[in-house]
């Protein structure tokens, strides 16, 4: 993880979304929300490239939304 401003802000953005999703999933006992939230909080530590970080984050969010719409 690099410590430049755009990487930190993007990590904070996806980490915040992940935290809210994880807490919501824990309170409502929804595994999909907990898994997606955990992934969104953890993956920025392992991805050094800013564009790759944004793409992976958007991919996780898109899979999360589609799983919820399919009834998971």
Coil, strand or helix: which one is 44? helix
* Spatial separation of the C-alpha atoms in residues 45 and 59, rounded to whole Å: 17
Spatial contact of 6 and 52, defined as CB atoms under 8 Å apart: no
Up-side HSE of residue 61: CA atoms within 13 Å toward CB? 15
**What residue segments make up the domains of the chain, in order of their start?**
5-69
pLDDT digits (tens, 9 = 90+) for 1-47: 667 899 999 999 999 999 999 999 999 999 999 999 999 999 999 99
pLDDT digits (tens, 9 = 90+) for 55-71: 999 999 999 999 999 98
This prediction has a pTM of 0.89
């Amino acid at each position: 993880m690099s410590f430049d401003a755009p990487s930190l802000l993007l990590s904070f953005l996806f980490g915040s979304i992940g935290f809210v999703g994880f807490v919501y999933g824990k309170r409502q006992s929804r595994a999909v929300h907990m898994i997606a939230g955990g992934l969104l909080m953890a993956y920025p530590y392992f991805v050094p490239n800013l564009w790759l970080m944004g793409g992976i984050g958007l991919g996780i969010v898109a899979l999360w939304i589609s799983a919820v719409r399919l009834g998971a």
